[in-house]
Amino acid sequence: MTEGRPTPGAVERLDATVRGKVQGVGFRVFVLREAEWLGLSGTVRNLPDGGVHVIAEGPSADLDALEERLAEGPPAGFVDRVIARREPARGEAAGFRIAHGDHRGD
């Protein structure tokens, strides 16, 4: 095992902010589909500053896969960068959903 990395299959939490052309291009639905396909729990929401915020929990390998997909984004979007950090899972969400209400465009 690499020091500082969890054991394979360990459950973690991904907290990521995606910057670029990520609103109005189906980014949240893209993230929802990817997260559901991977069996992750969490939320995706638009931010008032034009970014998208993703919280996902699940096995570290599945979070790695989601993080790679976040960097690619949907065909209509453009991802400039993904700012991500990992922390221990909190078990707060069951399933994955699009969160609304943080942005007037929601």
Closest C-alpha to 98, from 58, 44, 41: 44
Q: Residue holding tokens 């707060």? A: 92
Selecting among 46, 81, 85, 86, the annotated active-site residue is 46
The number of C-alpha atoms within 13 Å of 79 and in the hemisphere containing its C-beta is 22
State how far the alpha carbon of 45 is from the alpha carbons of 4, 15, 50, 70, 103, in Å: 29, 12, 10, 13, 8
Task: Confirm whether 28 is a catalytic residue.
Answer: yes
Task: Confirm whether 46 is a catalytic residue.
Answer: yes
Selecting among 13, 28, 45, 69, the annotated active-site residue is 28
* Catalytically annotated residues: 28, 46
